[in-house]
Chain A
Amino acid sequence: MSADGRGSPIHQILPRLAWGDAVGNQVRYLQGLLRRWGHASDIFAETWDDACKDQVRPVRDYAREAGRDAVLVVHHSFESRLVPFIARAPGRKVLVYHNVTPARLFEGFERKVAAACDGARDELLALRPHVERAFAYSRFSAEELVAAGYRNVSVLPFAIDWKAFDTPPDPALHAELGDGCANVLFVGRAVPSKKVDDVLRVFTAYQKLYQPMSRLVVAGYLHRDGAYGAYLHGLKDVLGADRVRFLGRVSAAQLSACFATATTYLSMSRHEGFGVPLLEAMYRGVPVVAYGAAAVPETMGGAGLTTLSDDPAEVAELLAVMERNVALRGQVIAAQRARLASLSQDAVAEQVRAAFEDMLSGRSAPSASSEASAASVELVCPGFTVRPDAPASRLVRSLAEKLPGARILALRPRGAEPSLELGPENVGGVPVWHFTADQPPGRAPASLPGSSSLETAVRVSSAPVVLLGVDTEVARAVLPHVKERAWGAYESSLSGPSIEQARQQLGQRLVVLEPSRSADAVRALLGGVTRAT
């Protein structure tokens, strides 16, 4: 990268520039770095917060002013309707993917947001032909890009302005919360995907079983007039927990007071593209207990306590032990400090610089690019590896043996790390493509979680699809997109709306799996799929 100020212009585009959110902070940070390295760099957005009006320009200005030598960094995290504009815009384009929350996490509460999340995933696929390189802030997000067929995918380090956390605490709130109660803190918007309801459940267990003198503090925007806000307030009363404080949006000083008086930080979020508050808690010396969904284990990096169990009583044990055992608490805090050392601003800036240098020089990213699958049939069996003895797993094994060129797509086992190298792994003599689940797969009979990367891989493939377990989250998510080329199977003991929905979409292509007569199901599926191929 040129250090003499004559580098190519590198501009950024996003749907909305907000003040204080993670995406907006990254955009501003990148702009600062790019300008420091001698590149002209502006931020273009469709809308923005008032506080950001001097930092941003309208999207339409970009097309007027940018030349063919410009590089456009496209930030994608939500539905934007910018894809046609980006497709027409001059210059090279690079994607920065912050991840999109799976729509299913908003089901039952926010149908408009759920639809927008689905739209954002469609846009992610629509952007693919227009970008030459893609970055993500976690391997979890990068895996989805690889599954979507993006070329040159790599992981960018997440930059955090640590000095912003050094604000002195608000004295009034500090005095109020620092009354000797054990404070359990959660910071973030109270939206269904953050599972504040599970935070309430865990806290209730903690208060009832271990520490009656405890308080839950939830700092972050809560839409009180929304269905989820009403649900949370109702839940609080039904659970009977005392001292639950929903603070709503707080100032930097109030947030400092929350952290300064917190005994433990608790997150039960089901989706994080990265998870800044977890690191903020680490920085402020508060032990973190977090449910290991999505990119949370990566963010934690082995520090804090990441639990794969969402059982309230079990997670409450961790809160109790963090409060009572001073030595263990000290070890956790020390490990958290060590974790932050790798995220110093200098180290991050150097890694970002290397990534952008590779991009400007046209060097390939270290990860393998993923071509569209050449499989003859996609055998989607999420539980193949985690539940090998389930009837669906046995059925898919038989199908794979009889269908040359077919590939099995399954969830990675609990605790396995996401990977940018998607390819066959041998599981009991059968090649299986593994994808990271959005949440840790629970033990049977708990239903299996969805997987954004697996679902994306199925969507981008053009091969016939066999969904083994149409009741699974993965099948529910992909079925509307692949129903014309899909077959499905379900265990005869199952019933419910997901089976009914699959029956409506698949009709005769839905096969019942009787454990005692699995050969019939194999024959029926083979007949249908063979005709299609």
Chain B
Amino acid sequence: MRPEDLLTRAPSAEDVVRETQKLPQPSEEARESLRRSLEVASKPATPAPWPALLQEARGKMDSRYAEPATSHRGGLVGLALVVSKRAFRGVFQPFINEVLRKQVEFNESILDALATIHDVQREHVRTQALWRQELDHRLARIEAAASRGREAAPVPAETSTAKPGPTVDTASVKQTPGTSRGRSRRR
């Protein structure tokens, strides 16, 4: 922290920074572990477009307005039918709007809910992937430490049933996110 990064009158920014410099220095290992955690957990703010599987439904969400009037018949009959359809729509559109208003609101709500479920799923998948990467990294670290330990340790003279195994950093191995830990509280 630098004084120019602080806005404070009392105590002064310089005093605060001086005190922060007196804090016990965390170990390099702790800093590195934190740096890695933060790096893994960093998420660029990417705009999420509407899910592709909902695009078609979204295009049809507003059911108040029909496609432009057409007729498969040709000639004057077809023309008369098209004009009649347009006239019907023109006259009754305000009533159609009112009848379908609730339906449109429902369509909008249900699409929003589906999009939210999609976003939550995407978030879970992303978190799981991050977690797997992080777990792989921790396991690799543990294996490396274990192999270093094996190389350094003298070969035992006699076979023992209680072989000293690799030291496992239990704090660094945690459960997959979303699963219950014994001590966690039900929310």
> A residues touching B (Cβ–Cβ < 8 Å)?
104, 107-109, 111-112, 197, 201, 204-205, 208-210, 225-227, 229-231, 233-240, 246, 248, 292, 297, 300, 302-309, 312-314, 317-318, 320-321, 324-325, 328, 331-332, 334-335, 338, 414-415
Take A108-B46, A204-B37 as given contacts and tell me if A302 and B126 are in contact as well, using a CB distance cutoff of 8 Å: no
List 30 A-B pairs, Cβ < 8 Å: A107-B45, A108-B47, A108-B48, A208-B26, A208-B33, A209-B30, A209-B31, A230-B124, A231-B123, A231-B127, A234-B126, A234-B130, A234-B177, A237-B127, A237-B176, A237-B178, A238-B40, A238-B130, A246-B187, A302-B9, A305-B6, A305-B8, A309-B5, A312-B38, A313-B31, A314-B5, A318-B16, A335-B9, A335-B11, A338-B10
A111 B127 Cβ-Cβ under 8 A = no
Which residues of A have CB within 8 Å of B38? 201, 204-205, 239, 312
How far, in whole Å, are A312 and B35 apart by their CA atoms in the complex? 10
A303 B37 Cβ-Cβ under 8 A = no
What 8 A-B pairs come out closest when comparing CB atoms? A234-B127, A237-B177, A227-B119, A302-B9, A306-B7, A209-B26, A335-B10, A230-B123
Question: For chain B residues 1-40, which have a beta carbon within 8 Å of chain A?
Answer: 1-2, 4-11, 15-16, 19-20, 23-24, 26, 30-31, 33-34, 37-38, 40
How far, in whole Å, are A209 and B29 apart by their CA atoms in the complex? 10
The reply on B120 being an interface residue by CB < 8 A is yes
The reply on B143 being an interface residue by CB < 8 A is no
Which residues of B have CB within 8 Å of A229? 120
Closest chain A residue, CB of each to CB of B179: A237
Instruction: With A209-B34, A240-B37, A334-B10 given, name 17 new contacts (CB 8 A).
Output: A107-B45, A111-B47, A197-B43, A201-B38, A205-B34, A208-B26, A208-B37, A209-B26, A227-B122, A230-B127, A235-B41, A238-B134, A240-B174, A304-B8, A306-B8, A314-B1, A325-B19
Question: For chain B residues 134-181, which have a beta carbon within 8 Å of chain A?
Answer: 134, 174, 176-178
B37 A238 Cβ-Cβ under 8 A = yes
How far, in whole Å, are A90 and B145 apart by their CA atoms in the complex? 78
Which among B5, B11, B46, B124 is the interface contact of A308 at CB below 8 angstroms? B5
Closest chain B residue, CB of each to CB of A304: B8
The reply on B81 being an interface residue by CB < 8 A is no
A104 B5 Cβ-Cβ under 8 A = no
The reply on B71 being an interface residue by CB < 8 A is no
How far, in whole Å, are A321 and B24 apart by their CA atoms in the complex? 10
The CB with the most chain B CB atoms within 10 A, among A107, A234, A239, is that of A234
Q: How far is the CB of A442 from chain B (nearest CB, A)?
A: 10
Closest chain A residue, CB of each to CB of B40: A238
How far, in whole Å, are A306 and B5 apart by their CA atoms in the complex? 8
B116 A227 Cβ-Cβ under 8 A = yes
How far, in whole Å, are A59 and B5 apart by their CA atoms in the complex? 47
Closest chain B residue, CB of each to CB of A200: B41
How far, in whole Å, are A201 and B187 apart by their CA atoms in the complex? 22
How far, in whole Å, are A234 and B127 apart by their CA atoms in the complex? 6
Which residues of A have CB within 8 Å of B11? 328, 331-332, 335
How far, in whole Å, are A325 and B4 apart by their CA atoms in the complex? 21
Which among A107, A225, A325 is the interface contact of B116 at CB below 8 angstroms? A225
Question: For chain B residues 110-126, which have a beta carbon within 8 Å of chain A?
Answer: 112, 115-116, 119-120, 122-124, 126
Which residues of A have CB within 8 Å of B126? 234
How far, in whole Å, are A300 and B90 apart by their CA atoms in the complex? 59
Which residues of B have CB within 8 Å of A104? 45
Closest chain A residue, CB of each to CB of B177: A237
Closest chain B residue, CB of each to CB of A501: B47
Which residues of B have CB within 8 Å of A230? 119-120, 123-124, 127
How far, in whole Å, are A111 and B49 apart by their CA atoms in the complex? 8
A306 B6 Cβ-Cβ under 8 A = yes
The CB with the most chain A CB atoms within 10 A, among B4, B123, B177, is that of B123
